[in-house]
Structure 1
Amino acid sequence: MDMPQTGFGLWKVASEDCRATILEAVRAGYRHFDCAADYGNEEAVGEGLAAAMADGLCSRDELWITSKLWNTCHAPEHVEAACRKSLADLGLEYLDLYLIHFPIALEFVPFEQRYPPEWIHDPDADKPVMQRAAVPLHQTWRAMEELQDKGLTRQIGVCNYNSALIHDLMSYARIKPAVLQIEAHPYLTQEKLIRLARDYGIAVTAFSPLGALSYVELDMAGENDTVLNAPAVTKAAARHGKTPAQIVLRWATQRGTSIIPKSTNPERMRENLAITDFSLSEDEMAAISALNRNRRFNDPGVFCEQAFDSFHPIYD
């Protein structure tokens, strides 16, 4: 099965809402669900997936389920346990895709002590901070390859890697990464990184494809950061009889990336899928791409210092 180009992102979906949200998403036509241990809702997601299958809305073979290895489990001895924990919570025998969530290794936190462990090593410390672990990424990747060898996941990949890390990974990977998941939207077009991934035969998934919308409620973006009011977007929306959000999502898929938008609103869920019955012109694509500001909303070099009193940039 190929990964569906439009998936459903489960970041920030409350556990109590997961079952109903997933049932509604499956009814709307979603078959690709993007999960992560760090989202803290995989058990609830598993209940939703089980309900959808029990109701005959879909079969496991029709689903594409992605999860992600958290930063505290980068040491090779913890990778398989982390994957198995996600599988148990999701109620699945295998994942379709398992990703390294960030190229950031943190000290291990036992699952029974705190799960998900999040970013801070000891929340009860006098000065709670992140605690780095000395784990090279190549060791983590070797353990990821073993997960695929054992059939725990059908494919493996990475998130939030930059070009240098991709070059490095491709120099030692026995099993090449199938997917690179990165923040990408008209204010952060990531053209060189996407081109590099394509050159290496790595598919690209854009998270936060609508830009600031995911971050306003977290105080990581302001209302004026939205791309949906940009004239290049609103003019295309009027021309095609589509919403600005549909235009931005179509721009993303038309440039060859898959997308994982999120909405708990049933009407918006369907709207986010309804982007295959029109195409943007070359001029419209170029005008939207020209909105690029290199504006990154999900930047550890910013939020780790603000939220966790730890300076840890991964982008220059």
Structure 2
Amino acid sequence: MSPSKPVEPFGTKLTTKSGNPVYLGTGSGTKWQKIKKARDASLKDTLVDELVDNLVLSVKNGFRHLDTAEIYTTHPEIAEAIKKSGVPREDLFITTKYNPGVDIKPASHKSGAESVDAALKELDVDYIDLFLVHFPFFNDEYSHGQSLEKVWADLIQAKKDGKVRYIGGSNFAIEHLKQVSAIAGGDPNYSAQVNQIEFHPYLQDQSEGIRDYAKENGVLLEAYGPLSPLFRIIDDDGNEVVDHPLKPVIPKLAEKYGKTSAQILLRYTLQKGLLPITTSSQSERQKEALAVYEFALEDDDVKLIDDVGSQFHFRGFFKNLYHTKD
């Protein structure tokens, strides 16, 4: 059996500044954000050494794509890890994200331009490889009068000024991709080149038609949460779902290919045309994640994951914000 196509992500072909292709990324998100928040107030302005060490280990094991966001408050740890890694800046690919304001927490900065400049300072770099709008939801109370139009115009200017290399969105639906494309006058260099979305077999389209639209319009999709079927799944009533359809399927595929369950799902994500963002603090698992480029799933097995996954629905983030049949 031949592997499914595409075996690599469709859309924008990201490279480091030195010209190397960009592979799957390692995140410094929700887990670390919670750890920082839970620390004693006296430690507020100190680094989380555990995160720095984890990032340095990731780079040592081969990761070059580091994903963060201003809402995670992990820019200082990324900066320290870059210095300690010993890898030239131009060989690393750094992603961060503008926070428009969420729940009861206001936007981190008063404009997209201010956000870019603050990130450059906090990351202690001369440029950011990929700058995303974390989500396209703005409101009068928390967004400091900003809108997607205003922030996108700032990102276009930041790219023209050489402060960022690629711009894009996260959690964008088709309407948002069309909106920023219109702001850019249809110029693909200043439209969303990337859209980072929640993706796994239980959520194969975060918003209706997003994968097909991205493929047709050359937008690279990055996938966060690609390993969700391997972790605790909580339903809308707060109850853990113990028996879900893929629970027995993924281990059987792992045995068939001589890989781990995580490798099966990461490889599945790649073969669906998305670039995975994952994370682990264990050295061996980091190496295993990067090894997903060394094998391929058969067509029938990709279809099996598709079909079984479609029997169950799970959305971990941004529930009730899309016009879906959740």
Shorter-chain TM-score category? Answer: 0.7 to 0.9
2:12 maps to which residue? none
2:213 to 196, 200, 204: 196
Unaligned runs of 5+ in 2: 1-14, 36-47
Aligned: 1:222 with 2:255: no
Rounded to whole Å, the distance in 2 between the matches of 1:4 and 1:154 is 13
- Equivalent position of 1:297 in the other structure: 316
Please give the TM-score of this superposition, normalised by the length of structure 2.
Answer: 0.77
- Change in CA separation of 1:260 and 1:44 when aligned onto 2, cut-off 3 Å: same
Give the match for residue 62 of structure 1: 91
Q: Indicate if the aligned counterparts of 1:250 and 1:280 stay in contact, CA closer than 8 A.
A: yes
Match of 1:9 in 2: 27
> How far apart in 2 are the matches of 1:37 and 1:45?
11
Q: Report the Cα distance in structure 2 between the residues aligned to 1:47 and 1:227, rounded to whole angstroms.
A: 42
**What is the Cα deviation at residue 78 of structure 1?**
1.7
Query: By how many angstroms is 1:215 displaced?
Result: 6.9
The letter for the 1-side match of 2:192 is P
1:176–1:92 Cα change, 3 Å: same
Q: With structure 1 as the length reference, what TM-score do the two structures score?
A: 0.79
Relative to its length, the structure with more helix (as a share) is: 1
Paired residues in the alignment total 277
Is 1:279 matched with 2:283? Answer: no
The residue type paired with residue 153 of structure 2 is R
Whether the aligned pair in 2 keeps the contact of 1:7 and 1:260 (CA below 8 Å) is yes
Matched-pair identity in %: 27
Question: How far did residue 222 of structure 1 move?
Answer: 3.3
1:24-39 equivalences under 5 Å are: 24-39=57-72
Q: Confirm or deny: 8 A CA contact 1:189 1:294 kept in the other structure.
A: no
Give the secondary-structure state (helix, strand or coil) at the position aligned to 1:67.
Answer: strand
> Which string of whole-angstrom CA distances, capped at 9 and with x for unpartnered residues, describes residues 6-35 of structure 1?
110111235331211111101110000001
Whether contact under 8 Å (1:100, 1:159) holds in the other structure is: yes
Corresponding letter in the other structure for 1:185 = H
Using a 3 Å threshold, how does the CA distance of structure 1 residues 164 and 235 change in structure 2: closer, same or farther? same
Structure-1 separation of matches of 2:119 and 2:239 = 30
Question: Is the CA contact (8 Å cut-off) linking 1:215 and 1:297 kept in structure 2?
Answer: no
Distance 2:193 2:109 in 1: 20
Structure 2 residue 173 is matched with structure 1 residue 162: yes
**Counterpart selection for 1:23 from 56, 62, 84:** 56
Residue among 243, 253, 258 paired with 2:260: 243
- Cα 1:131–1:154, aligned 2, differ >3 Å: closer, same or farther? closer
Residue 274 of structure 1 deviates from its aligned partner by: 1.3
**Contact 2:110–2:143 (Cα < 8 Å) also in 1:** no
Q: C-alpha offsets along residues 250-275 of structure 1, whole Å, 9 cap, x if unaligned?
A: 00011221111011111111111111
Structure 2 counterpart of 1:84? 117
Determine if contact 2:111/2:146 at 8 Å carries over to the other structure. no
Amino acid at match of 2:115: A
Shift in alpha-carbon separation, 1:81–1:222, aligned structure 2, 3 A: same
Q: Which deviations, in whole Å up to 9, do the C-alpha atoms of 1:63-99 show, x marking residues without a partner? A: 0000000114879962111111111111111000000
Which structure would you say has the larger RCO, counting Cα contacts within 8 Å and 6 or more residues apart? Answer: 2
Question: CA contact under 8 A between 2:111 and 2:151: conserved in structure 1?
Answer: no
User: What SS does structure 2 have at the residue aligned with 1:260?
Assistant: strand
Residue identity in the other structure for 1:177: A
**1:98-177 alignment runs, 5 A limit:** 98-106=131-139, 131=142, 135-174=146-185, 175-177=190-192
SS at match of 2:280: coil
Q: Unaligned 5+ residue runs, structure 1?
A: 108-129, 302-312
For 1:83-136, what per-residue CA distance to the aligned partner results, in whole angstroms no more than 9, with x for missing partners?
1111111111100000000112256xxxxxxxxxxxxxxxxxxxxxx7466543
Quick one: distance in 2 between partners of 1:133 and 1:227? 44
Matched residues in 2 for 1:221 and 1:248: separation? 24
Q: Which amino acid aligns with 2:279?
A: K
After TM superposition, give the deviation of residue 247 of structure 1 in Å: 0.4
Partner AA of 1:248 in structure 2: L
Equivalence for 2:9: none
RMSD, aligned α-carbons = 2.7
Q: Residues of 1 paired with 2:242 and 2:316: CA distance?
A: 13
Answer whether contact 1:5 1:257 (CA < 8 A) is retained: no
The 3 A distance-change label for structure 1 pair 267 and 30 is: same
CA distance in structure 1 between the aligned counterparts of 2:181 and 2:113, rounded to whole angstroms: 22
